[in-house]
């Protein structure tokens, strides 16, 4: 939990004041590359063929531009915010529960879309998305997006996948005749409160939850109460994708919220793993490549943002992570993603995904909501058994 606690002071800022936070003027023209580029990224987002030689979208970029890439992986959005607050990085692949915090904290700068020729090819659903656009000013380039799926062991759930998130939120007997207690996991990040709220939207409609990121005191209390029940079931909270994979392989874990990345890696090993979008729907992430306000290598950064919008890179990243491209052309003709890959990864389910965003006190659905710094401290308490 070090990453979560470390950045709490940054989370108390009023995100209602995002609008005037135009930190600086964007770059006017592209100059020569500076020879280096440092990126804070989710695991699996910046690959150079070291894990699988077929997945490499770094080497060619480095050869063409001379910009040598270094990557710092982060396991949670809170860790990404903390790293960007510390500085020393050029870019971050920020999810929606971090992006507006970075804008409000003036940790990222507006971008000049005229310097990114492929901007016009971005899916219209993503071009002006609220997680990177403030007062019609863009603070980043869309990367990829996807759902937080329910990953499960097919030998335990024989015949059909679990239909509901109840298998990770309430004690139930699984199809193998055993309890789920101690055999499920939950995400080690405060944004997981939204998954509980999403579950309650379907199972306790009397709470009146309209948006899992906009909760009044009563709704928020109900979500915390559900998470306390889940605490009695969870064998381990996960934030490291590779450790979660090991837990499914070796520690008897049979169900958890997860990313398609872990699902794909285990399926590639022919392990009895699959995933599903349950009947309650899912939360999800739409990630934006954002430029640090004090970037030392802005020209290389712009070159990288352009590079990542090519259909080839978009398709390769989406195939590797089990994500969906922000450039629709990537859905056809990519050998790794295949022409069926976008449909498989949920490209047409965009409207069903409740994308991560940072909870704020002034919210659209009901005026006053519980802000994110409360989510942080209270979720630490839940995990600690309080």
Tens digit of each residue's pLDDT (9 = 90 or more) over 40-69 = 999 999 999 998 999 999 999 999 999 999
The domain ranges of the chain are 2-146+284-355, 148-282+359-383
| Token duo for residue 98 | 């971090």
Q: Which residue pairs from 224-228 have beta carbons closer than 8 angstroms and sit at least 24 positions apart in sequence?
A: 224/193, 224/196, 224/378, 224/382, 226/169, 226/196, 226/199, 226/200, 227/186, 227/192, 227/193, 227/196, 227/379, 227/382, 228/382
The CATH number of 148-282+359-383 is 3.40.190.10
Q: Which pLDDT does position 352 carry in this prediction?
A: 86
pLDDT per position in the chain (386 positions), as tens?
A: 233 333 333 333 334 334 334 447 889 999 999 999 999 999 999 999 998 999 999 999 999 999 999 999 998 999 999 999 999 999 999 999 999 999 999 999 999 999 999 999 999 999 999 999 999 999 999 999 999 999 999 999 998 999 999 999 999 999 999 999 999 999 999 999 999 999 999 999 999 999 999 999 999 999 999 999 999 999 999 999 999 999 999 999 999 999 988 998 999 899 999 999 999 999 999 999 999 999 999 999 999 999 999 999 999 999 999 999 999 999 999 999 999 999 988 898 898 899 999 999 999 888 899 999 999 999 999 999 87
Element (H, E) at 40: strand 36-41
Looking at the domain that runs over 2-146+284-355, which CATH code has it been given? 3.40.190.10
288 Rama class: left (phi>0) / alpha (psi -120 to 50) / beta:
beta
Q: Burial of 56 by CB count in 10 Å (0-12 exposed, 13-18 middle, 19+ buried)? A: middle
Among residues 252, 93, 109, which one has the least CA distance to residue 184? Answer: 252
The CA distance from 103 to 110, in Å, is: 9
Residue 183 has a pLDDT of 98
Q: What are phi and psi of 29, to 5 degrees?
A: -145, 155
pLDDT in tens, 299-322: 999 999 999 999 999 999 999 999
Torsion of CA 183, 226, 165, 326, to 10 degrees: -110
> pTM for the full model?
0.85
Same topology for domains 2-146+284-355 and 148-282+359-383, yes or no?
Answer: yes
Query: Is residue 233 within 8 Å of residue 171, measured between CB atoms?
Result: yes
Strand spans (E) along 48-183: 68-73, 91-94, 133-134, 137-138, 141-147, 149-153
> What pLDDT is attached to residue 351?
87
Q: Length of the chain in residues, anyone? A: 386
Are 281 and 352 in contact by the 8 Å Cβ rule? The answer is yes
Q: Report pLDDT for 261.
A: 87
């Amino acid at each position: 939990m070090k990453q979560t606690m470390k950045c709490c002071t940054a989370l108390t800022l009023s995100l209602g004041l995002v609008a005037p936070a135009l930190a600086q003027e964007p770059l006017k023209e592209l100059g020569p590359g500076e020879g280096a580029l440092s990126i804070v990224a989710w695991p699996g987002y910046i690959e150079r063929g070291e894990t699988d030689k077929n997945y490499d979208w770094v080497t060619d970029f480095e050869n063409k531009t001379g910009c040598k890439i270094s990557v710092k992986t982060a396991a949670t959005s809170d860790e990404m915010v903390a790293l960007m607050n510390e500085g020393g990085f050029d870019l971050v692949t920020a999810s929606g529960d971090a992006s507006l915090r970075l804008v409000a904290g003036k940790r990222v700068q507006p971008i000049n879309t005229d310097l990114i020729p492929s901007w016009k090819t971005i899916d219209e659903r993503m071009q002006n998305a609220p997680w990177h656009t403030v007062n019609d000013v863009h603070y980043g380039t869309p990367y990829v997006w996807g759902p937080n799926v329910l990953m499960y062991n097919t030998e335990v759930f024989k015949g059909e996948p679990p239909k509901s998130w109840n298998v990770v939120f309430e004690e139930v007997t699984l199809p193998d005749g055993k309890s789920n207690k101690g055999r499920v996991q939950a995400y080690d990040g405060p944004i997981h409160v939204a998954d509980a709220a999403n579950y309650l939207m379907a199972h306790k409609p009397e709470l009146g939850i309209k948006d899992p990121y906009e909760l009044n005191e009563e709704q928020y209390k109900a979500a915390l109460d559900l998470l306390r029940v889940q605490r009695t079931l969870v064998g381990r909270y996960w934030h490291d994708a590779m450790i979660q994979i090991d837990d499914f392989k070796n520690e008897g874990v049979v169900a958890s919220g997860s990313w398609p990345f872990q699902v794909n890696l285990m399926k590639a090993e022919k392990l009895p793993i699959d995933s599903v979008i349950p009947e309650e729907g899912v939360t999800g992430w739409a990630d934006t490549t954002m430029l640090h306000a004090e970037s030392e290598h802005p020209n290389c950064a712009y070159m990288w943002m352009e590079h990542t919008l090519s259909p080839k890179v978009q398709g390769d990243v989406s195939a590797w992570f089990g994500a969906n491209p922000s450039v629709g052309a990537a859905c056809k003709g990519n050998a790794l993603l295949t022409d069926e890959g976008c449909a498989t990864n949920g490209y047409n389910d965009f409207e069903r995904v409740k994308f991560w965003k940072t909870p704020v006190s002034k919210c659209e659905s009901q005026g006053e909501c519980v802000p994110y710094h409360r989510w942080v401290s209270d979720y630490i308490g839940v995990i600690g058994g309080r």
